């Protein structure tokens, strides 16, 4: 093993203190990355725009094994904000090979990001011991859980690996492997030097809100029982919801397009959507609905996974809310607001069913705030975004 690393990693060749751990995670060391392995290990990014001089499509594609966190911004409250900031590109003009200069139209700039199953992070020297790796995090709508850590103390590497509910601490200078009952116990005994981590992606989390709308017209009386019809049945974060109960909703064209939009936001956050993105969501979502109708005469269950441009998106329905929304009822509005806030904490987004219309909602976290994006397929067969 060490002979191989010394041969392929320049910083390991001299066997000095200048060895860089992340040199292990390069194509020069790992070798050729197949199409099957890329979605597992690589952060794949595609930036597209139109050249302002020659009007040709300008595309810049990049991929990386390890994401580097290089600075500590004290305005960030969550670790995931550092990760999202490191992934999202700058809005500078793309380089056109034909014109030999940076002349991509910034107003037409589109970003596509495909996050891997295993996300590797490394802290720069000025971030070590100032940032703590979390057990879970949400990165651009994708949920990740911590699976392993690497520590460096006195120029010596040690490893911690998650094994079910326990953590195993492996030090090649010790005879046995130490076992800790929790992550907190691990950090209590080995508090400093953690600089490298591997996170595993979990499925896209989607909530359902099913509402019957009651309109209270001016001068009319609202039945008293309607005020109590709206009830929240969202499940706690740590519970395992019944797929049968949550997904048993009739599939319509609007619900399919809305669900496709939520999954699409995982590859490309809503803040970067342009007309091309909206058209693609409507076109692909409608095609998915048509294919489903051909296979099932009366489809009654939501999708468990969706393929978007070669990316396999698994969907986990985590909660459901049902009830009646009365426009003039403060109670029902508060209940709806409570359900939405619950989805922010537990989901990538949620589907909002209103009579014959289904809306999709996704959240985009920006530093201290969270932006909401509501979208639906309108009567003109276009995606309306708010």
Residue 203 has what DSSP assignment? P
Q: How far is CA 291 from CA 256, 285, 295, 310, in A?
A: 11, 10, 6, 17
Q: Is residue 16 part of a domain?
A: no
Same domain for 175 and 230, yes or no, is no
CATH number at residue 133: 3.90.70.10
Q: Is residue 235 part of a domain?
A: yes
Res. 157: pLDDT tops 50: yes
User: Token match 């999708």: residue?
Assistant: 303
Per-residue pLDDT tens for 169-182? 998 777 788 999 99
**Whether the Cβ atoms of residue 25 and residue 9 lie closer than 8 Å to each other:** no
Per-residue pLDDT tens for 64-118? 888 888 877 755 567 888 888 888 766 778 888 888 888 877 777 777 788 888 9
Strand 349-354, strand 204-214: pairing: parallel
pLDDT score of 175: 77
pLDDT score of 227: 33
pLDDT score of 160: 93
The radius of gyration of the chain from alpha carbons, rounded to an integer in Å, stands at 24
Record the tokens describing residue 29, joined without a space: 């060391």
Same domain for 42 and 79, yes or no, is yes
Last residue of a domain, one of 136, 166, 201: 201
Record the tokens describing residue 42, joined without a space: 């690589």
> Which pLDDT band, with edges at 50, 70 and 90, does 197 fall under?
very high
Same domain for 252 and 371, yes or no, is yes
Per-residue pLDDT tens for 49-58? 888 888 888 8
Same domain for 153 and 298, yes or no, is no
Res. 149: pLDDT tops 90: yes
Closest to 312 in 3D by CA, of 233, 223, 204, 193: 204
CA distance 384 to 46: 25
Strand 66-69, strand 118-123: pairing: parallel
CA distance 217 to 221: 8
Q: What mean pLDDT comes out for the span 308-330?
A: 71
Backbone angles phi, psi at 139, to 5 degrees: -115, 110
Same domain for 312 and 236, yes or no, is yes
What range defines the domain where residue 283 resides? 204-385
Average of per-residue pLDDT values in the chain: 75
Res. 262: pLDDT tops 80: yes
Residues in contact with 331: Cβ distance below 8 Å, sequence separation at least 6, in sequence order: 227, 228, 230
Res. 60: pLDDT tops 60: yes
Domain count, the chain: 2
Same domain for 261 and 183, yes or no, is no
Same domain for 189 and 211, yes or no, is no
Same domain for 299 and 359, yes or no, is yes
- The neighbouring-strand residues paired with 297 are none
Q: Is residue 321 part of a domain?
A: yes
Q: How far is CA 332 from CA 22, 249, 361, in A?
A: 53, 22, 19
Same domain for 49 and 171, yes or no, is yes
User: Token match 């005994």: residue?
Assistant: 189
0.85 exceeded by the pTM? no
CA distance 238 to 253: 32
pLDDT score of 77: 66
Lowest mean pLDDT among 194-198, 245-249, 317-321, 325-329: 245-249
Same domain for 120 and 248, yes or no, is no
b vs e for 260-289, b when ≥16 Cβ sit within 10 Å of the residue's Cβ?
Answer: bbbbbbbbbbbebbeeebbebbbebbbebb
- The neighbouring-strand residues paired with 47 are 60, 111
Last residue of a domain, one of 177, 201, 225: 201
Q: What mean pLDDT comes out for the span 21-47?
A: 76
CA distance 62 to 173: 39
**Whether the Cβ atoms of residue 336 and residue 193 lie closer than 8 Å to each other:** no
What percent of the chain is predicted at pLDDT more than 70?
Answer: 70
Same domain for 60 and 87, yes or no, is yes
Res. 220: pLDDT tops 60: no
Last residue of a domain, one of 185, 201, 217: 201
User: Token match 């990693």: residue?
Assistant: 9
Q: Is residue 13 part of a domain?
A: no
Same domain for 126 and 191, yes or no, is yes
pLDDT score of 366: 62
pLDDT score of 240: 41
> Maximum distance among all alpha carbons in the chain?
85
Residue 334: Cβ within 10 Å count: 11
Closest to 320 in 3D by CA, of 225, 238, 244, 252: 244
pLDDT score of 263: 85
pLDDT score of 128: 86
Query: E-strand spans in the chain?
Result: 43-50, 57-64, 66-69, 95-96, 101-102, 110-114, 118-123, 136-139, 142-153, 156-163, 166-170, 178-180, 194-201, 204-214, 305-308, 311-326, 349-354, 357-366, 369-377, 383-385
Q: Is residue 6 part of a domain?
A: no
């Amino acid at each position: 093993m060490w002979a191989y690393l010394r041969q392929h990693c320049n910083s390991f060749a001299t066997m000095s203190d200048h060895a860089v751990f992340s040199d292990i995670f390069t194509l020069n060391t790992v070798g050729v990355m197949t199409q099957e392995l890329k979605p597992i290990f690589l952060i794949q990014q595609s930036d597209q725009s139109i050249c302002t001089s020659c009007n040709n499509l300008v595309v810049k594609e990049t991929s990386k094994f390890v994401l580097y966190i290089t600075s500590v911004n004290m305005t960030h409250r969550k670790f995931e904000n550092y990760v999202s900031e490191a992934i999202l590109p700058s809005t500078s003009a793309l380089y056109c090979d034909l014109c030999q200069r940076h002349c991509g139209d910034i107003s037409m700039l589109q970003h596509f990001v495909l996050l891997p199953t295993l996300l590797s992070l490394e802290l720069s020297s000025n971030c070590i011991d100032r940032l703590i790796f979390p057990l879970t995090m949400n990165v651009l709508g994708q949920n990740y859980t911590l699976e392993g850590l690497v520590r460096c103390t006195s120029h010596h590497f040690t490893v911690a690996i998650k094994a079910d509910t326990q953590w195993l601490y492996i030090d090649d200078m010790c005879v046995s492997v130490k076992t800790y009952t929790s992550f907190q116990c691990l950090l209590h005994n080995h508090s400093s030097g953690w600089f490298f981590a591997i996170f595993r992606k979990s499925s896209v989390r989607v909530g359902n809100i099913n509402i019957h709308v009651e309109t209270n017209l001016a001068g009319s009386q609202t039945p008293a029982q309607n005020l109590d019809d709206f009830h929240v049945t969202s499940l706690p974060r740590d519970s395992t919801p019944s797929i049968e109960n949550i997904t048993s909703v009739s599939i319509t064209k609007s619900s399919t397009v809305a669900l496709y939009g939520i999954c699409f936001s995982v590859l490309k956050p809503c803040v970067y959507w342009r007309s091309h993105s909206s058209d693609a969501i409507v076109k692909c979502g409608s095609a998915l609905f048509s294919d489903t109708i051909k296979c099932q005469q009366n489809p009654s269950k939501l999708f468990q996974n969706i393929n978007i441009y070669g990316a396999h998106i698994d969907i986990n329905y985590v909660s459901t809310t049902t009830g009646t929304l009365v426009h003039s009822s403060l109670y029902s509005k508060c209940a709806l607001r409570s359900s939405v806030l619950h989805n922010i904490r537990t989901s990538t987004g949620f589907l909002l069913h209103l009579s014959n219309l289904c809306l999709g909602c996704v959240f985009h976290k920006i530093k201290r705030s969270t932006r909401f994006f509501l979208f639906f397929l309108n009567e003109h067969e276009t995606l309306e975004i708010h």
